[in-house]
Amino acid sequence: MYFPNDNNGSRVMFTSRLKEVAMHASPDCHHHCLRPLTEEESWELLQRKVFQNGRCPPELIEIGKQITKRCGGLPLAIVVIAGLLAKNIKTQKSWKKVAQSVSSYIVSDPNQYLDTLALSYNHLPRHLKPCFLYLGAFPEDQEISVQKLIWLWIAEGFIQKIEQKSLEEVAEGYLMDLIQRSLVIVAQKRFDGRIKACRMHDLLRDLCLKKAREINFLKWIHNYEDSYPPPSSNYKANNQCHLCIDFDFLEKCDHVLLESYSPVVVQSLLCFRIKSGREISYGDSPFDDVFSFICCNFKLLRVLNIWYINAFISRELTQLVYLRYLAINLKSSCGLPPSISNLSNLETLIISTQRGEVILPCNVWKIPKLRHLYAKGGAKVDVSLCSKEAAVDHSYPHVLKDLRTITDLDPCGSVQDFLARTPYLTKLGICVHLLSDSGNLMFPNLEFLRHLETLKLDIDFFPRHPIALGEVKFPANIKRLTLKYTGIEWEEISVLGMMLPNLELLKLENDAAWGQQWETTDGGFPRLKFLKLKELDVERWITCSGPFPSLQHLSLERCQYLREIPSSLGDILTLQLIEVNFCHFSVEESVRQIKEEQESIGNNWLKVLIREQPWTF
């Protein structure tokens, strides 16, 4: 009654930093989520603040737009930098000086913005504060992989189990909460709308680092001046420090700088490469001594991320019995030692080598809490030997109940017995050897992996004859499927649409399918949202009247023999994007024609992205 509707245009506007509060206050009213300003809007705001009612002189327009671009679309940053520009002499020289380091000029007077931003941090619930502060451990402007961020949060002990949800699901909920509070920016999305990568605005990162320093939660080391810790008495409030070290600095120094941290309980050591584009040296590195020192002196480490440094696995590594997360790049392809199984608390193992595949010992499957194994570039393991050892060694677990992720595994021997011990896998990337000992083609039965949602199959032996899918058993629950070098006939590819009713993503890459023509059938792929065809020899694509009823994103890449895509794809009501990379110009023309036809009948939502072929066929 205090706000009667007098039909005079009056409105009540409610603002909140929390989306949930806005929804609770008025669930039926329109909600407007603020987005970052575009470059044009940012430039308009800067002009209004600097020149009041006037316009920017022509000689300052270009440099002024550079300044606004570096503010990242955040109005608060633009207003702060505009106040600085308005006070100084408006010349090209003075503006260029500001443009060279926008962030440092804003930080020079933190009282202008930190108090405002700190309100968002102060109102965070207790369980979200360490998750937010931990984002400061990543380099400025870096896109952060959500998958690895979640694995790190879990390893650090920030995520608490909630009812029937997995730790990964709870962590993803934490991240969404930070995003809805506008403390984290979405950098990339997956096909299903989930977040693939995120990042922080520079000002929020400054706030993050400031709050982390106040409680000695996080320490960045860029040079020798940063390398000395405060007195140990300062760590009483939080004696579990997370160290972040610039790779370029660590490569040049020795372990002396780390000796001063020995009295401090260092829980995490993360090394990042700040300067991109520099190749990692394959020669000897002083880091070998540093690595041994770390293993001997920081025995309470939970997280060790030395991905950018080539290291030999030394026996001292097995002293890190509290380690939960290990990301390492090995100097040689000799692989991991059998003693890796001594890391009884290890949950996440991310590994690669300079050359070739990582050699995994059978003992890696004896790590009792192993949850995620990510092998960039491939990991070779003799699964037949593992099965034999498991039969006689009772210390091998009968079922790897915690194992959820295996990527880029290249097993020697039959994988059937091995996979039978991993029934709870949700993600599997495997190189399949189709030839049996007798020389016959065979395909592993994966039907029993009932929790599997993501499957990537790469065929080691390219078949001379097409594979029939009639005898292949896929888990019915699969949502994401990638096939490489499988050589399946196109008719059989259509069978997949019937076999896997829950499939949402399908990638056919590098001769995954054989034949000149793909003719889709009715009723197939009812839930498919993302379809990618890459480096295939198909020439003609014929569709039925209602193909892919749920398709949102179609991607074509280097399909050099394909001449057009079916016009009926434009009639898919859910289709939002067609992406064409390095295909024949006639394919590009057919895509443009589809877009024009849709626009002519009022359908303006279809987007087309074309990356033209640098050569002609």
Question: Are residues 236 and 146 both part of a single domain?
Answer: no
Out of 112, 135, 155, pick the residue that ends a domain: 112
Out of 87, 112, 137, pick the residue that ends a domain: 112
Residue 252: per-residue pLDDT = 64
Question: Are residues 520 and 615 both part of a single domain?
Answer: yes
Q: 393 vs 166, which has greater pLDDT?
A: 166
Greatest C-alpha distance within the chain: 87
DSSP 3-state of 58 = helix
| Residues paired with 432 in a beta bridge | 459
Q: Best-predicted range by mean pLDDT among 336-350, 375-389, 412-426?
A: 336-350
Q: Is residue 61 part of a domain?
A: yes
For residue 445, pLDDT beyond 90: no
Residue 533 near residue 512 (C-beta atoms within 8 A): no
Residue 235: per-residue pLDDT = 47
Q: Is residue 453 part of a domain?
A: no
Q: What is the pLDDT of residues 455-479, one digit of tens each?
A: 999 886 655 566 666 667 788 889 9
Question: Are residues 544 and 594 both part of a single domain?
Answer: yes
Sequence-distant (6+) residues with CB within 8 A of 398 are 421
Q: What is the pLDDT of residues 520-570, one digit of tens each?
A: 877 789 999 999 999 999 999 998 777 899 999 999 999 999 999 999 899
Q: Which of 278, 216, 268 shows the shortest CA–CA distance to 247? A: 278
Q: What is the pLDDT of residues 169-187, one digit of tens each?
A: 999 999 999 998 888 999 9
Q: Is residue 380 part of a domain?
A: no
Prediction pTM value: 0.85
Out of 162, 187, 206, pick the residue that ends a domain: 206
- Amino acid identity, position 112: Q
Residue 528: per-residue pLDDT = 95
Q: 204 vs 84, which has greater pLDDT?
A: 204
Q: Is residue 197 part of a domain?
A: yes
Q: Is residue 475 part of a domain?
A: no
Q: What is the pLDDT of residues 254-290, one digit of tens each?
A: 566 677 776 567 899 998 877 654 444 444 455 667 7
Cβ neighbour number for residue 462 with a 10 Å cutoff: 12
CA-based angle 327:328:332, to the nearest 5? 155
Q: Could you say which DSSP state residue 300 is in?
A: T
Q: 313 vs 125, which has greater pLDDT?
A: 125
221: tokens are 């080391």
Residue 550 near residue 529 (C-beta atoms within 8 A): yes
| Percentage of the chain lying above the pLDDT 70 cut | 84
Q: Which of 576, 525, 580 shows the shortest CA–CA distance to 553? A: 576
Q: What is the pLDDT of residues 140-162, one digit of tens each?
A: 888 999 999 999 999 999 999 88
The DSSP annotation for 550-566 comes to: T--EEEEES-TT-----
Question: Are residues 254 and 175 both part of a single domain?
Answer: no
Q: Is residue 501 part of a domain?
A: no
For residue 481, pLDDT beyond 90: yes
For residue 226, pLDDT beyond 70: no
585: tokens are 């110009």
Q: What are the two backbone dihedrals, phi and then psi, of residue 544, each rounded to the nearest 5 degrees?
A: -85, -170
Question: Are residues 170 and 227 both part of a single domain?
Answer: no
Residue 450: per-residue pLDDT = 92
228 confidence band (pLDDT: 50, 70, 90): low
- Domain span at residue 137 reads 124-206
| Percentage of the chain lying above the pLDDT 90 cut | 36
Q: Is residue 131 part of a domain?
A: yes
Domain count, the chain: 4
